Amino acid sequence: MNDKQIVALYHARDEQAIAETATKYGSYCHSIAYGILGDREDADECVNDTYADAWNSMPPHRPSVLSSFLGKITRRIAIDRWRKNRAQKRGGGETSAVLEELQDCIADKENTETAFEKQLLAQTVSTFVKKLPDTERRVFLCRYWYMDSVESIAERFGFSESKVKSMLYRTREKLRNLLAKEGF
């Protein structure tokens, strides 16, 4: 079943939409959640929460590419779960390492933020990533959006792990300089 047909099921409030979503995108969403959480049970729960969120979002949304829509939901839910786990001092996955890497990119001047500042930061990061050379961008997104391990990124691109680490380091430096310049 193609994405258009699955989205139509959601809009028709036909529960077959969830079954079709699970068949087509269950593994994909699970891989995102597992990468963030490092725990199968937690990842399973996140995927189920993704289906519920998707059911509540469509209508009105009508995404043309369902994988991107669902992937974004799963990522958000998994990161929220990770934060809850962190507060309770449990959980694994790549997220701790990723956060540690990103710590150097942005000054932790204060612990409050506004919705406007969050939006501005999102726009700045988006523009930065768009302007990256293709390979650097893909490696960056595999690491910091998908939370893929350095090992799996190296395998995917046919690079050594040290090359991946160097590439990520250079990109983070560029991002850090840009964010400092923009006042973040």
Partner 1 sequence: MKKDDMLLDAIGEIDETLVRQARQKKKSRTAIAVGAVSLAACLALVFAVPSVRNAIAGFVSPQESTTELLMSGTAMWEEGENEMALAWDDISVYYVDGGKLSSITEYLPCSPQPIFEVWKEQNGIGDEVKLVKVRIESNAETTYSEFEGESVAEHKVGDYFILNITLSENIKTYYDRLDETLLLESLKKTLSYNLLTYNEYHILFA
For residue 178, what are its two tokens? 């840009």
Site track 8-27 with partner 1 (rule: CB under 8 A), x = hit: --------------------
Amino acid code (one letter) for 118: K
Query: Looking at 1, 8, 79, 178, which residue binds partner 1 (CB under 8 A)?
Result: 79
Q: What angle do CA 165, 83, 37 make, to 5 degrees?
A: 60
DSSP 149: -
When asked if residue 89 is in the footprint of partner 1 (CB under 8 A), the reply is no
Query: Looking at 8, 22, 106, 178, which residue binds partner 1 (CB under 8 A)?
Result: 106
Query: Looking at 9, 75, 91, 154, which residue binds partner 1 (CB under 8 A)?
Result: 75
3-class SS of residue 159 = coil
Q: Which of 35, 31, 29, 65 is nearest to 47 (CA)?
A: 29
Shortest distance (Å) from residue 141 CB to partner 1:
4
Shortest distance (Å) from residue 108 CB to partner 1:
5
Report the C-alpha gap between 166 and 160 in whole angstroms.
Answer: 10
Query: Looking at 11, 141, 151, 173, which residue binds partner 1 (CB under 8 A)?
Result: 141
